[in-house]
Structure 1
Amino acid sequence: MELERYIKDILGNHFTLADVPKEALALLPLYIKEEYHISQGEFWGYPVILMALKQDLDFHTQRTEKHLQTIADIFQRKVVLVMEEMQSYTRRRLIEKKINFIVPGKQLFLPELLIDLRERFSRNYGNKTDTLIPSAQQLFLYYMLHRHSKIQLTDLTLKEIAKKFNYTPTAISMAAENLKKFDLCDIKGSKEKNIVFKEDRPALWHMAQKHLVTPVLKEVFIDKIPDKRVLASNVSALPEYSDMNPGAQQYYAIEKKHYYHLRAAGALVNENPDEGQICLEVWKYDPYVLTYGITEDSNVDPLSLFLSLKDNEDERIEMALDQIIEKFIW
């Protein structure tokens, strides 16, 4: 597809494109579906809706601006207008109004998105050069947790790891290079490459501490568990790994892509940023991958749990986290 190829030529593999689920498209007014092709994408993991004007229709800035807002309100995402051709005066109007647009092969203008990305990276990653990217952290934690597995992560090629973790081979290569950058592993082999961790697990954990970050991207509140693809997290998960009792607030973790899919489909009951029966943690990586053979109670893994709570100053939680490290690291 020309649009995807054009964006990837500029941004590399930091962009993905996918169809919008049918149940989500059903939420749109008929006139929107008649005038635009709607798809969804991610820039650096940040979800957007792409609204492509059908070629045989006239363009009117004011009307299109209202349509953009309608779609943004329904999906609760930034929207990017896509046009095959654009007159110079139309381009000027869109730039003046700071409306996101792409003309494949010619121009990419994303003022809203770039501002949000800057704020998001600043908030979640601090100095990005000092922290592991999410995929690299996920690989590292898997290695730390699954010390007793018959097949170790180091026994697998990068291609096999990509399949196991549901990443592209390119993404896993980037993750491996990120681990190597911080001297946590070496990459061996020529045609088929493997990750080789340099130290024993306690030493690795100590070395990695300044590079590990919380897996939680954000928190929202809802009143009903959306489906089975969530795991108990935060203080709701601590009882399995420590002596701490669960708190009154229920916490669950969900992978970010699945969260945005459910959100677009309207499957999150009474979602809001302040209160609800359930606090839903949106994670940067899939929490399920790390839990096989680790949890017996559908909880997130203990090391990601540790990272999500390590800055909490509650003494009970600090004691619980000490128990996790004693059990799973030393």
Structure 2
Amino acid sequence: MLDELPDMQLRALASATEAYAREAFDTHLHLDPIKPLGLPHFLLDRYSLFRGELLDGPAIFVLPQNGSVGGVEEYLKHREQMRRRLDINLFVLILDGVPAALRRRLVEKRVAFIAPDTQFYIPEALLDLREVYASQPVTPSEQLSPTAQVLVIAALLGHEIDDANMTQLADRYRVAIMSISRAVDELEAFKLAKPHHVGRQRRLRFCLDGAQLWHAAAERLQSPVRKSRAVIGKLQKNQAVVAGESALARYQPAAEVDFSGRRSARPRRHDDQQHAGFGCDLADEGEDQRVFG
């Protein structure tokens, strides 16, 4: 058993760690699995060890066999035993995921650890790169939320939002950063966007554009219109925004339609008073539901 190499899952985690160090710091770890003869069997059964290079010197990278480090105090005892026998000072714990409570304990005890694509904490080098912590995957509803829909429509209209960070998007569309972050979660869950980070910044990166984005998102778009009312009479152009076929004609080089569709703010309790302010009357049920200019 002791002569076996680490299983494929641990090798994949080691490879992901090398890729993360290379992308984040342009550092090559050169990890190679080792089975030191001087270590007690219980340590070799519990951990897979890789020898590598970090901070211009040798380092031992420790991968728990079952994926969990267990108690931090217990790991510190094991680390001291391995340090004495291997005569190497720098030990780095590699974990696939680090829950918040465990992360606090590791940082409190100044335990070097790496979680690929999440955190690179090496106190000996004063390195503490935190990017994004794994959370529960988003379970998307059948339709996009209004904020996610804004981002899709903005991309379809040619707004330069690809590669924009969350703060830039929140400022541009006047919504909370958390709303933008949830919207990007949705787009990634629907495979309309893909995860993308630059340093610590999360950025929007659509997978598709143009007609491909439209066809992929069309069935998940929802109408922003919550209620429709028909009016008859003169409606001033500055009292409502262009909507419907009129909006389509404005955005595309199509022929002008012979009626004007406009959207007004949500009516208050007394519909007749609000529409009287517009200089028009509500249409009776069954009448042609158009606004004549």
**Structure (1/2) with the larger helix percentage:** 1
Q: Same fold (TM over 0.5)?
A: no
Larger Rg computed on CA atoms: 2
Length-normalised TM-score, structure 1: 0.37
Higher relative contact order (CA 8 A, sep 6+): 1
* TM-score in terms of structure 2 length: 0.41
